Structure 1
């Protein structure tokens, strides 16, 4: 029996973002009877539960601001070491998602190696580049990344661009890497177009089927909301720009409002968050096009979900995005006029061209990013 401990997600069943969905899919799709998963779950109490035959160990962590995630990973890691010792487990793997605990990592790796346990790390994206962090936190993230790359037995990269960066930037450590992407699901939403849940949502925001551009994602500067909003305001399209994101207590929202005055353009609609996954999928399916401005990170979950669901996708032209979508999307740059001209050109796009982009995007997801394929690659790796 191979014992796999996963640290770094908020926990399962998935209620939050990419890492949580990934862990949920990995555990739920397990095929090998010789695998046992153990998943750390952020909680307000310490306990254990079972979910899809995985042991979920809940870790109580005080609310201490930005350091909370670091504390959580360290406490979860200590729990893993204790559990492995107490149960005399051999041939285990601890898989850590993201590079948050670098300064403390080396001593824990030594302790796990003494227990005949390997330590794998998913370096995620370039966390140290995110605009939300101040200078000192960015320095910490960069140091943490370096030390985790140095001490990990294997780096599992969800993007070939990230894998190349790890190999080249940290070549003095001769890091061992493997590429396994994030996944997506091209199945249709269970909701129909006349479902009351969908119709009420459309009515609430004065939105109509195939008459809106859509973006779903964290409301942070590096996702290029300012460029997308400015360019959309310059465009002449009569379609709406629907932005699904959490803007509560977000100072970036007010900064962007002051800079762009988007509130005067009634095409631009901030509609809050949508937690019902079938509703969100249906909203994606019914969009005219999806806008994706992410430029930091690896294989982005929201991009894969858009390619799996939305007919037409307009992506910021960076290596991470081209790697994923290839010919299944259109691309725009940050230069003034690039996106607005593209949007204007699409008002008269031919239906056959749209269908072709949809086929190419879904083929790309099914061929390289299906959850069953991702799960199979991980099971092969564990063994």
Structure 2
């Protein structure tokens, strides 16, 4: 039996978030009986719970709610928990899998300790967190230094994007990093909801939106997801449909700046509708969008892009390596050059139904071939069993 400790997700069952959804699927779809998962889960409650979830041992780790630093503290306390479990139960064969590069300055000593018990330390480097505009310059510098430490000392790196794997070798070749590519997953099952369901009709009525009458974007409201470009270009286009933005928008500085720059509040087509946490409703909204707009420019394989390809027939993606790698010829692409997206939007309006249907079929096939959760879980299990030996 090989023991796999997972550190870095907020916990399972998943409510929201990429790493949480990944861990939930890894555990709930487990096939091999040769693996035992142990999952750290974050809590602010002093009464930390210990529970079983689909056969995985889950342990809540209590941390104080101290802002961004709590994630670093959580990872360190979770590693301490994992080490204590290894010692207490005399475990001698396994992997500690750390999700994201938050604890690079501290990881060397943990790797040394886990090696003493025959455990490897693996890392998922995630995306270019140090590029995200939401972080201050000192925090971005910490992210980059931390990433370097994680790559240097990890036994193995699992990258969910080929572009990220290439970047790891280009930037950190001096460490001879051992890497593999295993993608993030997605489902292509249709929503059980229909047009007649009350929650569907209530949502569409509330925002005065009609099926097939809108372009859609779903994602965090941060500058690197290129909301400014998408809104400006949409406003310049002659498109009659709405632009529906499902995002955690709050009237913050970025929102206010964007409104001042674009005056989007004066364009009735631009509709910020908040978040949708009902998974079935969100899938229905995706399935019934005329097209999906994706402007993410930072990170690896993006969950919202996979979900879009599995649900929406016409997908218009920012032309960067991460997105091309996923979409291939199942999507259309735009650049941030002035006029490029507005022209593509108008071109999209002229596409015939057959062309759109063909793109939709290609998109779903792309997910089925390369990003199905069952396939991803199989890859992980094979890799854990084959390479998780010190």
Shared fold (TM-score, shorter chain, > 0.5): yes
Question: How big is the shift at 1:250?
Answer: 3.1
Aligned to 2:79: 77
Q: What is the CA-CA distance between 1:308 and the residue it aligns to?
A: 0.4
Which residue number in structure 2 is paired with residue 263 of structure 1?
265
Name the structure 2 match of 1:296.
298
Q: Which residue is 2:49 aligned to?
A: 47
1:184-226, Cα deviation, whole Å (9 max, x unpaired): 0111001112111111000000000000000000000000000
**Whole-Å separation in 1 of the counterparts to 2:350 and 2:317:** 19
2:182 counterpart residue number: 180
Post-superposition Cα deviations, 1:80-108, rounded to whole Å, max 9, x if no partner, equal 00011001111111000000000011001
For residue 112 of structure 1, the aligned residue among 106, 111, 114 is: 114
How many aligned positions are there? 383
CA contact (8 A) 2:44 2:65 kept: no
**1:253 Cα deviation after fit:** 1.1
- Within a 5 Å distance, the mapping from 1:197-236 to structure 2 comes to 197-236=199-238
Over 4 Å off, 4+ runs: none
Which of 315, 339, 342 is 2:341 aligned to? 339
For structure 2, list consecutive stretches of 5 or more residues without a partner in the other structure: 386-390
TM-score, with length taken from structure 2: 0.97
List aligned pairs for 1:1-383, cutoff 5 A. Answer: 1-45=1-45, 46-248=48-250, 250-383=252-385
Consecutive unaligned residues in structure 1, runs of 5 or more:
none
Cα distance in 1, alignment partners of residues 382 and 233 from structure 2 = 45
Instruction: Tell me if the contact between 2:129 and 2:143 (Cα under 8 Å) persists in the aligned partners.
Output: yes
Contact 2:199/2:281 (CA < 8 Å) preserved in 1?
yes
* In structure 2, distance between residues paired with 1:347 and 1:47: 53
Is the contact made by 1:6 and 1:95 (CA closer than 8 Å) also made in structure 2?
A: yes
Q: For residue 347 of structure 1, report the CA deviation from its aligned partner.
A: 1.6
1:10–1:16 contact (8 Å) kept in structure 2: no
- C-alpha separation in 2, matches of 1:336 and 1:8: 39
Q: d(CA) in 2 for partners of 1:49 and 1:250?
A: 38
Contact 1:3 1:91 in 2 (8 A): yes
CA RMSD of aligned residues (A): 0.7
SS at the partner of 2:68? helix
How much has 1:379 moved relative to structure 2? 0.3
Q: Residue by residue, what CA displacement relative to the aligned partner does 1:267-322 show, whole Å, maximum 9, x if unpaired?
A: 00000000000110110000000000001000000000000000100000000000
Cα distance in 2 between the residues matched to 1:252 and 1:8: 28
Distance in 2 (CA, whole Å) between partners of 1:167 and 1:151 is: 14
Match of 1:296, SS state, is coil
Question: SS of 1:42's equivalent?
Answer: strand
**Contact residue 235 and residue 267 of structure 2 kept, 8 A:** yes
CA distance in structure 1 between the partners assigned to 2:192 and 2:52 by the alignment:
27
Alpha carbons 1:27, 1:52 under 8 Å: kept: yes
Measure the CA separation in 1 of the matches of 2:253 and 2:180: 38
Whether the 8 Å CA contact 2:9–2:23 is kept in 1: the answer is: yes
Question: 1:348 Cα deviation (Å)?
Answer: 2.2
1:118-155 Cα deviation digits (max 9, x unpaired): 10000000000001111100110000000000000000
Q: Is the 8 A contact 2:287 2:312 kept in 1?
A: yes
Residue 388 of structure 2 corresponds to: none
SS at match of 1:65: coil
Shift of 1:47: 2.3
